[in-house]
Amino acid sequence: MNNKNCGLLMMLLASFWLQGCSWLNFFGEVEVLPEKVSPLRFETRWFHPELPAESLGLPESSKTLVGECEFQSELLKLRSNQHRGLLLPLMAFGEQGQITLDLIASKPVYKLLQSEWSLGSPYDSLQLYQRWVSGVEHSCPDGLRRELPHCVMKPFYSLGGLLDSDSSYELERINNWLTQQAPLDYLILPDLALLKSDSVLQLSYSPNSPVITEQNSESSYQHLQPFMLRKSLDWVLLDNDNRLISDEFVSYGRCSVSWQGLNAQGDSGDGQPLDFDYLSQISAVINKRMHDLLKDISF
């Protein structure tokens, strides 16, 4: 090759370099596809001889707790990119049917999830709980224990009730608080089935405060029984403005522990409601296994 041709070739190569071209995309642009993240699902079981199966009319073989986790690809992408979330504290149930935050059970769960899911501070979680209860209270349900100016005025600004909804939440009240926080991508909600049920009317701001609405204690307690036989955490995505999209709380990830030896209604083998002491014993074992399940997650 003579010097003239060699110089021309060097000029072409320099031109490709300056324009960010490579030999590969010179002959045809190579499209780099984003890495595909597959959904994740796993299940584990634990045998617990101390579960009161015989006392409830159930066979010895039923003393098995089942733990399950399932995460959709959309959520796993957020986790891998260190997006932020908040944990709504776990809840405890009282013998009179009240529901309040459970700080003792929430602390180890928060510690397990904090780094893996880039959670906001414990203080933010407590603030979220207070705003959550307030969101239920400001939906102005029947039997409200205290008079709220918001509820007194509601018939006027809702056009005499024409714009009323059947929701148990004043969702805008929760969203207003969320939008004032640092950017968030998801909330981790405990006992989602409970949060989507009328039982949220039995929430209270603290262990020493009354529930939101007047309740028949026996009826309230019976409604809570199914929720004491299983524990769950659900990952619910927020929109780009830190807002919950709806009160449907669509889950993109879920971990749960349950005693499947008991039916979904929380009855014993002879169809009778469970004694509160039995329920508390079962719930304590389930709480422990939820901690173990979260600890063993491997992404």
Q: How far apart, in whole angstroms, are the C-alpha atoms of residue 120 and residue 177?
A: 14
Q: Which domain holds residue 126?
A: 38-137+170-295
Instruction: Look at residue 177 and tell me if it is in a domain.
Output: yes
Six-digit token string for 276: 């509160």
Q: Can you give the pLDDT at residue 14?
A: 46
Instruction: Look at residue 223 and tell me if it is in a domain.
Output: yes
Q: How far apart, in whole angstroms, are the C-alpha atoms of residue 133 and residue 206?
A: 10
Instruction: Look at residue 146 and tell me if it is in a domain.
Output: no
Q: What is the pLDDT of residues 110-132, one digit of tens each?
A: 999 998 999 999 999 999 999 99
Six-digit token string for 12: 């072409």
Give me the residues paired with residue 188 across strands.
Answer: 87, 235
Instruction: Look at residue 19 and tell me if it is in a domain.
Output: no
pLDDT-derived band at 207 (thresholds 50, 70, 90) equals: confident
159: left (phi over 0), alpha (psi -120 to 50) or beta: left
Instruction: Look at residue 251 and tell me if it is in a domain.
Output: yes
Cα 169 vs. chain centroid, distance in angstroms? 16
Q: Is the pLDDT of residue 31 over 80?
A: no
Q: Which residue has the tokens 């968030």?
A: 184
What are the backbone dihedrals phi and psi of residue 201, each rounded to the nearest 5 degrees, phi first?
Answer: -70, -10
Please report, in angstroms and rounded to a whole number, the separation of the first and last CA atoms in the chain. 57
Q: What is the pLDDT of residues 216-240, one digit of tens each?
A: 766 677 778 888 889 999 999 999 9
Q: Can you give the pLDDT at residue 164?
A: 57
Q: Can you give the pLDDT at residue 264?
A: 44
Q: Can you give the pLDDT at residue 55?
A: 77
Q: Which whole number is the average pLDDT over 127-154?
A: 91
Q: Can you give the pLDDT at residue 28?
A: 47
Residue 161's contacts (CB-CB under 8 Å, 6 or more residues apart) are: 155
Exposed (0-12), middle (13-18) or buried (19+): which is 4, by Cβ within 10 Å? Answer: exposed
Instruction: Look at residue 46 and tell me if it is in a domain.
Output: yes
Q: What is the pLDDT of residues 158-188, one digit of tens each?
A: 665 544 567 899 999 999 999 999 999 999 9
How is 74-143 classified by DSSP, letter by letter?
Answer: HHHHHHHTT--EEEPPPEEE-TTS-EEE-HHHHHHHHHHHHTTTTB--HHHHHHHHHHHHHHHHTT--TT
Give me the residues paired with residue 46 across strands.
Answer: 65
Q: Can you give the pLDDT at residue 82?
A: 77
Q: Which whole number is the average pLDDT over 5-16?
A: 49
**Pick from 93-107, 161-175, 185-199: least confident:** 161-175
Instruction: Look at residue 120 and tell me if it is in a domain.
Output: yes
What are the backbone dihedrals phi and psi of residue 76, each rounded to the nearest 5 degrees, phi first?
Answer: -65, -35
What are the backbone dihedrals phi and psi of residue 271, each rounded to the nearest 5 degrees, phi first?
Answer: 85, 5
Which parts of the chain are beta strand (E)?
A: 40-47, 64-71, 85-87, 91-93, 99-101, 186-190, 230-237, 251-259
**Mean pLDDT score of the chain, rounded to an integer?**
83
Contact 161, 155 (CB under 8 A): yes
Instruction: Look at residue 275 and tell me if it is in a domain.
Output: yes
* Residue 180 CB-half CA count within 13 A: 10
> What is the total count of domains within the chain?
1
